[in-house]
């Protein structure tokens, strides 16, 4: 959490907090706000005002850290709802809140004095643009960092934090992602949010055209509250744009008459760069990717954990390999191809490999991509392709 984020109890008394929470509640009752006024107070519109008031009331009640821009919103919303009879509670304030105008004014003046330093970047201005807001908070963060340095110049932050920042700042994206994924696999909640945000940000800056990485970073941001939702959605939109440009899903080879060429024994399925979004265990083991592809494993398979360790498992009872399969979540596919006889081999960035052999009696594996296109390894190793228009092509070209 940034040092400028302050909990209510650090700044205000219980009575002052109670006044702010009551004022925010008024916006859902007697107060009458327009979209234009809500925007002027720093919200996206009326509905956002109501949603944010609920969020901020909860933050005040739970004594959770609040950002300076949110303290500015709380203060301005309180001032307007208390004073204005046109848009706020006005003359009805004492009736709807049970608080007298005199005591409320005294409490509000105390709040204004105590919050002055926190909300100073927003004095005399409308809600700043997102860009300016970031710069204002960055400026404050920079000043706080300077203040955290002792007079003799010794850093006021732990050595481990300083070392991590120095290392991650100049690391290659592959090294950053390797360290991230290993740490998250060991204990998903152990790494501080600021550290994982910084690491993903630096990796994305170095690989801005990697849709799988962008989606992975977006998913991580969405796991930690609403503060970064807009950034996460922007990353997802960029990933979708990149995927549409590259016609993600199955490769052109698979989708465009793969089996017209006899004797093909090694075919790329076009999954390279897609991240594993989820692993599902049912009667089969199913891997869902960041590009909406679904790989279903139906017969015995082998996961290669390292050069020395290979674990065979039955999808109907995969306990022997479950711990290894779960580790594939967020891993990135580096290769996925069909070999001779219909065997499927999938390689991952972590170094693990998954192999599914064709079965004489059952469908061994199946892949479903965007638009319903499917590739299925049928009994005996024949591989069938169903295109999005429902036509099929089933050959034994892999024998």
Task: Tell me the pLDDT tens digit for each residue of 220-263.
Answer: 888 886 788 888 889 988 888 776 655 434 443 443 333 332 33
Q: In the chain, what are the helix, strand and coil shares in percent, each to the nearest 5?
A: 50, 15, 35
What percent of the chain shows pLDDT beyond 70?
81
SS3 string, 84-101, reads CCCCCCHHHHHHHHCCCH
Mean pLDDT of the region 58-76: 92
pLDDT in tens, 294-318: 999 999 999 999 888 999 999 988 8
pTM confidence score: 0.39
Q: Which residues contact 346 (CB under 8 A, 6 or more apart)?
A: 271, 295, 333, 335, 336, 353, 354, 355
Distance CA 285, CA 297 (A): 5
- pLDDT over threshold 70, residue 166: yes
> Exposure of 321 by Cβ count < 10 A (0-12 exposed, 13-18 middle, 19+ buried)?
buried
Residue position matching structure tokens 């997102």: 130
What local confidence, expressed as pLDDT, does residue 124 receive?
Answer: 59
Q: How far is CA 135 from CA 56, 202, 284, 372, in A?
A: 23, 19, 50, 45
Distance CA 68, CA 140 (A): 10
What mean pLDDT value characterizes the chain? 81
Mean pLDDT of the region 81-100: 90
Distance CA 180, CA 139 (A): 28
The crossing angle, in degrees rounded to 10, of helices 229-245 and 211-222 is: 160
Mean pLDDT of the region 118-130: 63
pLDDT band at 281; cut points 50, 70, 90: confident
Mean pLDDT of the region 111-124: 82
Which carries the bigger pLDDT value, residue 251 or residue 89? Answer: 89
Please report, for the chain, the start and end positions of each structural domain, with discontinuous segments joined by +.
Answer: 8-142, 159-245, 252-395
* 250 and 373 Cβ atoms separated by less than 8 Å: yes
What local confidence, expressed as pLDDT, does residue 388 receive?
Answer: 55
pLDDT in tens, 136-148: 556 656 656 665 5
């Amino acid at each position: 959490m940034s040092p400028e984020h302050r909990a209510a109890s650090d700044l205000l008394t219980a009575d002052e907090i109670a006044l702010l929470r009551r004022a925010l509640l008024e916006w859902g009752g007697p107060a009458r706000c327009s979209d234009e006024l809500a925007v002027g107070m720093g919200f996206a519109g009326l509905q956002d005002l109501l949603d944010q008031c609920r969020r901020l009331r909860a933050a005040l009640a739970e004594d959770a850290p609040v950002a300076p821009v949110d303290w500015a919103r709380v203060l301005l919303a309180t001032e307007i709802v208390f004073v204005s009879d046109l848009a706020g509670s006005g003359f009805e304030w004492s009736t709807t809140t049970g608080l007298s105008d005199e005591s409320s004014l005294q409490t509000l003046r105390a709040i204004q004095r105590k919050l002055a330093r926190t909300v100073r970047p927003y004095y005399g201005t409308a809600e700043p643009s997102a860009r300016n807001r970031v710069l204002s908070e960055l400026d404050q963060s920079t000043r706080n960092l300077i203040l955290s340095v002792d007079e003799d110049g010794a850093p006021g932050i732990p050595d481990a934090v300083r070392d991590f920042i120095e290392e991650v700042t100049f690391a290659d994206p592959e090294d950053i992602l390797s360290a991230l994924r290993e740490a998250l696999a060991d204990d998903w909640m152990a790494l501080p949010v600021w550290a994982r945000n910084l690491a993903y940000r630096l990796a994305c800056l170095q690989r801005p055209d990697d849709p799988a990485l962008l989606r992975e970073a977006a998913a991580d941001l969405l796991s930690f509250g609403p503060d970064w939702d807009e950034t996460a959605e922007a990353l997802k939109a960029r990933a979708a744009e990149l995927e549409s440009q590259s016609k993600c899903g199955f490769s052109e080879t698979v989708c465009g008459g793969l089996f017209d060429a006899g004797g093909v024994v090694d075919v790329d399925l076009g999954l390279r760069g897609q991240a594993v979004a989820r692993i599902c265990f049912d009667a089969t083991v199913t891997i869902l990717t960041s590009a909406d592809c679904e790989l279903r494993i139906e017969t015995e398979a082998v996961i290669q954990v390292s050069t020395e360790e290979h674990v065979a498992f039955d999808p109907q009872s995969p306990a022997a390999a479950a711990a290894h399969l779960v580790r594939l979540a967020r891993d990135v596919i580096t290769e996925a191809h069909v070999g001779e006889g219909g065997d499927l081999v999938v390689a991952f960035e972590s170094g693990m490999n998954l192999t599914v052999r064709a079965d004489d009696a059952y469908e061994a594996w199946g892949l479903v991509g965007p638009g319903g296109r499917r590739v299925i390894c049928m009994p005996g190793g024949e591989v069938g392709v169903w295109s999005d228009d429902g036509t099929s092509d089933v050959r034994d070209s892999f024998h």
